[in-house]
Structure 1
Amino acid sequence: MTTPDRPCLVYGIKNCDTMKKAFAWLDANAVAYEFIDYKKAGVAAGKLPEWNRLVGWEKLLNRQGLTWRKLAEEQRAGIDEASALALMAAQPTLIKRPLIEFGDAQLLVGFDPERYREVLA
């Protein structure tokens, strides 16, 4: 849970449509948060090992976006943990968004209003 003295940390890219939905939900439900643009702040590479430990690289990797589709077929076909983490560190747009850190080492990946309601509201 979040508290006013302990807001959740929302990682993502400001202009992403999914991020806009998440911001709207968080605001409408009075959830305290701090936004960190991981593309501009350069925090993705440092946070990836922890995020991977919490939810796994398969859940973090955004296989639906344009950045994924632009990768060479060989890169997509041979993806494993090490290569996925390296790609996400080099190209943060390959990380699903938003990522919401809350509580003691808990992480939500993507926009899921039902899950948000369960753990954040």
Structure 2
Amino acid sequence: MRIFGLRSCDSCRRAVKALAAAGVDADLIDIREAPIDEAVLDRALEQYGEALVNRRSTTWRALGQEERARPARELLRAHPALMKRPLIETDDGRLLLGWTPETQAALGLA
């Protein structure tokens, strides 16, 4: 299982900790250090669309109107921290977004 997020993100750390406690091996991939590969980003954008962009973040609030108008792919490439986190890719290829009760239930943790 791969978790795309930030090492400094509380939600990402909670996800890794909960999965480890459940005996699930999950690799946290810091998207600032290693950008999401195109295939995963394509699938995530297809599945979640604009919801993949975290419009409540500090990074978003710091952007000007012209920058905010860019397509989600361009925004996420230019500002990886704008991605809603974590994005979880399961071993069977499913993508789950956020560390919500729904995500936890889908992973069999709730």
Measured in 2, the distance between the counterparts of 1:26 and 1:104 equals 16
| Structure ranking higher on relative contact order (CA contacts 8 Å, 6+ apart) | 1
Which consecutive unaligned segments of at least 5 residues does structure 2 have? none
2:53 is aligned to 61
Which consecutive unaligned segments of at least 5 residues does structure 1 have? 1-7
Compared CA separation, residues 118 and 43, structure 1 to 2 (3 A) = closer
C-alpha displacement at 1:114, in angstroms? Answer: 4.2
Measured in 2, the distance between the counterparts of 1:110 and 1:36 equals 15
Q: TM-score scaled to structure 1, two decimals?
A: 0.76
Regions of 4+ moved over 4 Å:
none
1:21 is aligned to 14
Number of residue-to-residue matches in the alignment: 109
1:41 is aligned to 34
Rg (Cα) greater in structure: 1
Question: Which aligned pairs between 1:1-121 and structure 2 lie closer than 5 A?
Answer: 8-43=1-36, 47-53=40-46, 55-76=47-68, 78=69, 83-121=71-109
Measured in 1, the distance between the counterparts of 2:60 and 2:108 equals 30
Please give the secondary structure, in 2, of the residue aligned with 1:56.
Answer: helix
Q: What do residues 6-59 of structure 1 show as CA deviations (whole Å, max 9, x unaligned)? A: xx1111110111112212221222222112111101235563212112x22222
Q: Are the aligned partners of 1:68 and 1:94 in contact in 2 as well (CA < 8 Å)?
A: yes
